[in-house]
């Protein structure tokens, strides 16, 4: 049990501490003296409370730091735990055994299909030139090489200056399904050989 004298001394010390801290904080924080009074009305009443603890000290400082491991995992990934950043091994790559070229499944290999791609470019250029500028491209188009005839086909004709290449057969130009209005029977390829 503490005596009343000790209690008084203790209270005095607390008040001194209280006042000095509030003075220091008011200097740092720039609290207006009126504001201080408005905020701390109870100081005048000299209650034994620790308002300077509640309002002035910033209690929510970061105290728990992310560990190095956590920081690394967020930045670099952790494949052991299924978190992976960065490129993955591409399993769609195949090899063309004739040219030795690598290509992706679903995409054309540039070296292997070079001649097809070149021919396509030529036809596209020719088409663009034949249609002209500002003309709507809403007609059926037929590509004719040297020495070929139009036949009964109606529509726009694109004539090429060279002969038909061997890899571009007439069969490719036939439609897959049957005639419109007719039954969906298989279309036998014609013009082969």
Q: Report the interface residues with another protein, using CB under 8 A.
A: 76, 79-80, 85-87, 89-90, 93, 102, 104
Place of tokens 């070149």: 118
Q: How far is the CB of 109 from another protein (least distance, A)?
A: 12
Separation of CA 70 from chain center = 24
Q: How far is the CB of 121 from another protein (least distance, A)?
A: 23
Q: How far is the CB of 80 from another protein (least distance, A)?
A: 5
Q: For residues 34 and 90, which CB has a smaller minimum distance to another protein in the complex?
A: 90
* Alpha carbons within 13 A on the beta-carbon side of 89: 1
Q: For residues 89 and 133, which CB has a smaller minimum distance to another protein in the complex?
A: 89
Sort 142 into a burial class: Cβ within 10 Å, 0-12 / 13-18 / 19+. middle
Q: For residues 49 and 104, which CB has a smaller minimum distance to another protein in the complex?
A: 104
Distances in whole angstroms, Cα of residue 42 to Cα of each of 12, 19, 50, 53: 16, 13, 10, 14
Q: How far is the CB of 72 from another protein (least distance, A)?
A: 12
Q: What is the DSSP string of 45-97?
A: HT----HHHHHTS-TT----PPPHHHHHHHHHEEGGGTEE-S----TTEEEET
């Amino acid at each position: 049990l503490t005596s009343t004298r000790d209690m008084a001394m203790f209270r005095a010390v607390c008040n001194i501490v209280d006042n000095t801290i509030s003075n220091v904080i008011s200097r740092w924080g720039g609290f207006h003296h009126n504001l201080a009074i408005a905020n701390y009305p109870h100081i005048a009443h000299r209650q034994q409370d620790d308002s300077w603890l509640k309002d002035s000290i910033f209690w929510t400082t970061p105290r728990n730091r992310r560990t190095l491991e956590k920081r690394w995992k967020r930045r670099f990934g952790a494949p052991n735990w299924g978190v992976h950043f960065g490129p993955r091994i591409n399993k769609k790559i195949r090899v063309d055994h004739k040219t030795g070229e690598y290509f992706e499944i679903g995409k054309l290999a540039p070296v292997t299909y070079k001649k097809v791609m070149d021919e396509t470019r030529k036809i596209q250029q020719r088409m663009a030139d034949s249609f002209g500028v500002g003309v709507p491209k809403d007609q059926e188009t037929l590509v004719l090489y040297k020495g070929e005839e139009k036949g009964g086909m109606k529509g726009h004709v694109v004539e090429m200056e060279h002969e038909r290449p061997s890899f571009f057969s007439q069969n490719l130009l036939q439609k897959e399904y049957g005639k419109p209005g007719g039954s969906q029977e298989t279309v036998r390829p014609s013009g082969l050989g």
